[in-house]
Amino acid sequence: MELVKLQLEAPLAVMTIDRPDCLNALNSQVYEEMIVLLRQVEAMDEIRVVILTGAGEKAFAAGADIAQMVHQDALGGRHMSDLCHRTADLLENMRQVTIAAVGGYALGGGCELTLACDLRLASENARFALPEVTLGIIPAGGGTQRLSRLIGVGRAKELIFTGDQIDAQEAYRLGLVNRVVPRAELMDACRALAEKIASRAGYAVSLAKSAINSSLDIDRKNGAEREKDLLGLAFATHDKQEGMEAFLARRAPKFQDF
Ligand code: COA
């Protein structure tokens, strides 16, 4: 791929948006390449966690490519939004856990990609914003949907209506990021977290991800029923037997299901 690089380090995969000259601005080619690569990764049993990051020291991604959008008409804009949504939906729903490693600007579409990841780790120099209204448009890669679910409607409205940037500490205070670490330690911190998650029962982790995600879309009663069903499914796995027998025998479990 030209603009998105994939590094396989089973059980982890590192996906890097690679346009540092324009702060990893997201044009349609970036999204199309990400869709292809995410589908490939989802089929890989040996990959349990995907770390998504941006090339260079300055940015995760400084948003959708304004140089491309300036030439787009209404249909082009809608097509772009559809591409953003398809990419974000893949990140959100894939069976692997996704971690955004945010080492600089995560603006607009860049911020929206982080919102679609399961977890977000930021370096101290990271900055987040949804500045679309400063350009006469609205966040449309899922930003109006996911931000309020993560940090609450009032806080999301303030960020989206002002377009203001917030720093990593403020993002942490709002619950937008899970952790803030020094820039030099960002990838190691992501890898350590990814390794820990990958050491757990893989199929159980993916069932938990699915149960949590569906809780946002269905009512509580149906969410609880789904949780019971997924637990029943977990009880059918080798890993459930192995995990519990290993605990009782005071030995490390050998998980295999995914
Ligand atoms: N789309 C296209 N190009 C972008 C871009 C974007 N979203 N963000 C940055 N770039 C380009 C700049 O045009 C510049 O290109 P050039 O070197 O050919 O002139 C290069 O990346 C570096 O950006 P620059 O603005 O010079 O860096 P800076 O450190 O002064 O400012 C930002 C960094 C992120 C504050 C600033 O680039 C910015 O505000 N970008 C747009 C953010 C935005 O509105 N995103 C939402 C889009 S919906």
pLDDT digits (tens, 9 = 90+) for 79-97: 999 999 999 999 999 999 9
Mean pLDDT of the chain: 98
* pLDDT bracket for residue 45 (50, 70, 90): very high
Q: What is the pLDDT of residue 156?
A: 98
Q: Which of ligand 1's atoms lies nearest the C-alpha of 137?
A: 48
Q: What is the dihedral of CA 125, 128, 134, 136, to 10 degrees?
A: 140
Residue 14: band (very low, low, confident or very high) from pLDDT cuts 50, 70, 90:
very high
Is 132 annotated in the active site? yes
Among protein residues, the one whose CA lies closest to atom 22 of ligand 1: 22
Query: Ligand 1: which residue has its CA nearest to atom 13?
Result: 22
Q: Rounded to the nearest whole angstrom, what is the distance from the C-alpha of residue 157 to the centroid of ligand 1? A: 24
* pLDDT tier, 230 (very low <50, low <70, confident <90, very high otherwise): very high
- The per-residue pLDDT for range 171-223, each reduced to its tens digit, is 999 999 999 999 999 999 999 999 999 999 999 999 999 999 999 899 999 99
Active site residue 112: yes
Average pLDDT value for residue range 46-64: 98
